Structures are given as structure tokens and as C-alpha cells.
């Protein structure tokens, strides 16, 4: 192409063979795609979808909180208690129930927002997000704190004579939330028993339905996290009994706070403050008072 030609650039381009024009167009499109792909990899969500707030709020830490249930009340109190330990002001932002893909209930510990929603929420509203399930599935752009709730998966019945799963009668119905902690262990355990002696596993879609089945005696026992049982009973566990042991290991439910990965200094401060509250018994007292952890039975 002659740049010194008196013919305009585009006039020259039009007169070039059409195959060369298509090749040039393809190169331009490829370059544009490469730029957009690089941008997409560097940002979990396009910046066009949110307006990032200013991070400088002086001596204030902003906390995002779930909207409903005992965990919400616990985490609201905890946010202000962390502020007292860190000698800083606290601002809270309660996420509206309408923002959740599935309506939140008081029975669940899973926070319920998608990763993209969490990214936008933290960019727009908060430094710390309360209520993250401590697991390896957390996105890499979040830093999770040490847990402030460590809850058990309990085997619960109405019969105080049932101390283990082996005490259940053949064909007894054991309710469990599908794919939740304890479900895989229960499934494997039942496969080791003779078919005519094994209890029956009954799955439920969520903890609300699981608790309702236990309360109505549609099942003989359940495996559920202790906060769900206490939410259903509002802390009055009279008539409910926990088995002494399970014949398989079950992971605990651990709930933590999250900051964005670049805010590592803030994350370290939150960890230190939680350590203080754990050491002096504050976290345990709050969890029992808010009916999240099962109180010791006499």
C-alpha cells in the first residue's frame, strides 16, 4: 500500500483484492478479542456493571450482613463487637432479600449470593462480608478469616434411647439434606448393612423441609447442622435428643468473614480480633444466646 499515493487510504483499500481485505478485517477482530479476553480475565465482573465506592472512610469499617435469621442477628452484634475490639467505627449494610437468587431462610448457613454478586456487593458497599462458608470453593479474590462459628452436624431423634444409628429399627427413616455434610458418609454407611437391617435414607431439598419432617415425625432421625434445629425450635430443644456418636466422620460447618484479597492488612486485623473474642469466650456465649449452637444437655 502506497501511503504517498494521491489516492486516499480507504480508496486504496477498496481496490485491493478482497481476500486481503478479509484477512485484514480478521486480524483487527482477533486483536479486539484478545484485548477483551485479557480484560475479562483480570476482572471477575465487568466494571460496567457496578460503581466502585471510595475505600477511604476514615476510622470506619463497613460490614455487609445477611438479612434474616439467628445468624443475621449474631453477625450484626459481632460486627459491632469487632469494632469495639479494633477501636474503630462500624457501618453496616444489610443485603435485601430480593437480591438473593433463592429467598434466604433462617435455616441455612450458606450465604446465598453468587460470586459475581459478592464481588459487586463488596465493591459498592463493604470492606468485610460476614457469613462466608469456610471452604476451598471460595473465590481466590477473597481472603477468608478464621471461623467465628464452628457448628456440628448432629444426628437428632425424639427417642432418648437411640444413642447411635445402630439403635434405629430396621427400615427407620433417616432424613438428610441432599449433598450436605454427612450425606455421603450416611450413604456409605448404609451400604455396609444388610438390606433388611438398614435404615432408609430420605433426602430433602433444604434444612427447612428437613426440620419440618423431624418435627412432624415423618422421619425417625435426621442429620442436620445444629443451627437449623435451633432455628426451628427457637432454642427450645425439649423433646429432641442428639445421638452420642456417628459411625463415620462428618466435617463441621465453619462460618467466617471475608475481605477482598488485596485488603490483607484488614483481614489480619479481623483475624486478631476474632482470636481475642474466642479466647475470652465471647463467641461461644453469643452463639448459644442467639440459638446457633446446641447447648449442653444435662
pTM summary value? 0.79
For residue 200, the enclosing domain spans 153-242
Output the CA–CA distances (angstroms, integers) from residue 10 to 4, 6, 25, 58, 204, in the order listed. 13, 12, 13, 56, 67
Q: Is residue 111 part of a domain?
A: yes
CATH of the domain at 161: 3.40.190.10
* Domain co-membership, 184 together with 110: no
CA distance 155 to 172: 14
* Domain co-membership, 237 together with 95: no
The β-bridge relationship of strands 149-151 and 253-260 is: antiparallel
At 93, list the grid cell.
449494610
* Domain co-membership, 211 together with 165: yes
Q: Is residue 47 part of a domain?
A: no
Closest CA to 77 of 88, 87, 90: 90
CA atoms within 13 A on the CB side of 73: 12
CA distance 130 to 232: 22
* Domain co-membership, 186 together with 232: yes
CA distance 142 to 118: 10
Residue 263 phi, psi dihedral angles, 5° rounding: -90, 50
Per DSSP, the three-state class of 245 is coil
* Digitized pLDDT (tens) for each residue of the chain, 298 residues in all: 444 444 544 444 444 454 554 555 555 555 555 544 444 433 445 545 445 555 556 689 999 999 999 999 999 999 999 999 999 999 999 999 999 988 889 999 988 899 999 999 999 999 999 999 988 788 999 999 999 999 999 999 999 999 999 999 989 999 999 888 889 999 999 999 998 889 999 999 999 999 999 999 999 999 999 999 999 999 999 999 999 989 999 999 999 999 999 999 999 999 999 999 999 999 999 999 999 998 764 3
At 40, list the grid cell.
475479562
Question: Considering its fold, how many domains does the chain have in total?
Answer: 2
The β-bridge relationship of strands 241-242 and 128-133 is: unpaired
CB 257 within 8 A of CB 144: yes
* Domain co-membership, 193 together with 205: yes
Q: Is residue 12 part of a domain?
A: no
Q: Is residue 9 part of a domain?
A: no
Amino acid at each position: 500500500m502506497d501511503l504517498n499515493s494521491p489516492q486516499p487510504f480507504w480508496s486504496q483499500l477498496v481496490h485491493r483484492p478482497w481476500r486481503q481485505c478479509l484477512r485484514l478485517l480478521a486480524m483487527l477482530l482477533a486483536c479486539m478479542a484478545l484485548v477483551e479476553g485479557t480484560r475479562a480475565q483480570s476482572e471477575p465482573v465487568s466494571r460496567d456493571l457496578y460503581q466502585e465506592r471510595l475505600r477511604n472512610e476514615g476510622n470506619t469499617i463497613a460490614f455487609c450482613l445477611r438479612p434474616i435469621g439467628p445468624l443475621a442477628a449474631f453477625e450484626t452484634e459481632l460486627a459491632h463487637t469487632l469494632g469495639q475490639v479494633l477501636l474503630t467505627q462500624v457501618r453496616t449494610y444489610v443485603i435485601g432479600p430480593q437480591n438473593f437468587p433463592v429467598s434466604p431462610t433462617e435455616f441455612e448457613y450458606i450465604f446465598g449470593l453468587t460470586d459475581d454478586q459478592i464481588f459487586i456487593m463488596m465493591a459498592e458497599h463493604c470492606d468485610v462480608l460476614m457469613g462466608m462458608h469456610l471452604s476451598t470453593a471460595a473465590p481466590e479474590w477473597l481472603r477468608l478469616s478464621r471461623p467465628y462459628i464452628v457448628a456440628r452436624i448432629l444426628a437428632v431423634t425424639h427417642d432418648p434411647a437411640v444413642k447411635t444409628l445402630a439403635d434405629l429399627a430396621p427400615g427407620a427413616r433417616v432424613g438428610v439434606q441432599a449433598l450436605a455434610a454427612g450425606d455421603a458418609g450416611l450413604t456409605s454407611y448404609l451400604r455396609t448393612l444388610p438390606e433388611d437391617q438398614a435404615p432408609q435414607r430420605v433426602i430433602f431439598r433444604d434444612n427447612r423441609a428437613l426440620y419440618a419432617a423431624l418435627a412432624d415425625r415423618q422421619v425417625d432421625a435426621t442429620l442436620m447442622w445444629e443451627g437449623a434445629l435451633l432455628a426451628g425450635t427457637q432454642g427450645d430443644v425439649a423433646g429432641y435428643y442428639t445421638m452420642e456418636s456417628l459411625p463415620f466422620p462428618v466435617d463441621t460447618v465453619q462460618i467466617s468473614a471475608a475481605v477482598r484479597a488485596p485488603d490483607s492488612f484488614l483481614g489480619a486485623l479481623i483475624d486478631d480480633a476474632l482470636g481475642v473474642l474466642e479466647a475470652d469466650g465471647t463467641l461461644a456465649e453469643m452463639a448459644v444466646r442467639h440459638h446457633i449452637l446446641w447447648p449442653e444437655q444435662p
